[in-house]
Amino acid sequence: MSLTLGVDVGGTKILAGVVDDDGRILEQVRVTSPATDAGAITAAIVGLVKDLTGRHQIEAVGVGAAGYIDRGRSTVMFAPNIAWRDVNLRTPIEEASGLPVVIENDANAAAWGEFAFGAAAEVESSLMVTVGTGVGGGIVLDGALQRGAFGVAAEIGHLRVVPGGLICGCGNHGCLESYASGSALVRYARDAADAGHAPGLLERAGGSVKAITGPLVTEAAQAGDEAAIAAFAELGRWLGEGIASLVAVLDPDVIVLGGGVSEAGDLLLEPTRAAFRSQLTGRGHRPEAELRLATLGNEAGLIGAADLARHR
């Protein structure tokens, strides 16, 4: 049995774990992500790697990072929501651990995890859409992860859906991420509360609009709050329409919905599926890709990064 170490770096947390060749996590640790300090992020990753390699015989390290990764899989060229700008992440981790390291986009890593061990394990082609603070994507076609010519393929959150629309963390306007992410979900709910249309949400938030968070919206929707359910419906509409456009280009067997917001289950899946079906080109006259929830949860990126390091 070979062991590799996977690290999933996001805007709020860094999760690291030891993974065997069947995709099972033997041990994992997590810390809060110091997202505004690039040096502190690297130091936190190195600390977790040293911790786990001190207790396990690890052969390689895979890091799933929320940003644009160069084709050499070593440098984070740009990250919309983390303080990374042309940061070589691989070298300091290799120097600290003495192990080969692969840096991969976090959504690519999650897509590979779900393809190898999760919701898309029985198909040859899949599209992974991760919905969290932002919107990420990963594409596997004919069994191969698609990184593109420069390593930055599948940044589907930055597909422009509204010309001149809301400004995105990437600096452009009208990106899908601005309308179909966890951040957008919170904005929809707060806007409803501001307009006096969400008394239940406001009560749950102690009367403060700013206290309305994603988990609070999810809890309220699960309890039947109409404003919270409407926020999920709006998010799902944008997400489903975006996925329909992507399917018109990629034609995958399966679309897998992952990320933190996907933990809401049918609250997200059903409106997304309805919008996808309504906008799918050639609907009724073509095979329809199945829309599924991810099965590996928040561990998909960790597992995928570890497996990509194993097959480096």
Tens place of pLDDT per residue across the chain (312 aa) = 899 999 999 877 899 999 999 999 999 999 998 988 989 999 999 999 999 999 999 999 999 998 899 999 999 998 877 888 999 999 999 999 999 999 999 999 999 999 999 999 999 999 999 998 889 999 999 999 999 999 999 999 999 999 999 999 889 999 999 999 999 999 999 999 999 999 999 999 999 999 999 999 999 999 999 999 999 999 999 999 999 999 999 999 999 999 889 999 999 999 999 999 999 989 889 999 999 999 998 899 999 999 999 998
Domain with CATH 3.30.420.40 in the chain: 3-113+299-310, 122-294
Considering only the top CATH level, what class is 122-294?
alpha beta
Environment class of 54 (CB within 10 Å of its CB; exposed 0-12, middle 13-18, buried 19+)? exposed
Strand partners, 124: none
Task: Report the CATH number of the 3-113+299-310 domain.
Answer: 3.30.420.40
d(CA 97, CA 47): 10
d(CA 214, CA 186): 6
Which residue type does 200 have?
Answer: G
Which residue type does 286 have?
Answer: R
Q: Determine the angle formed by the axes of helices 90-97 and 38-53, rounding to 10 degrees.
A: 30
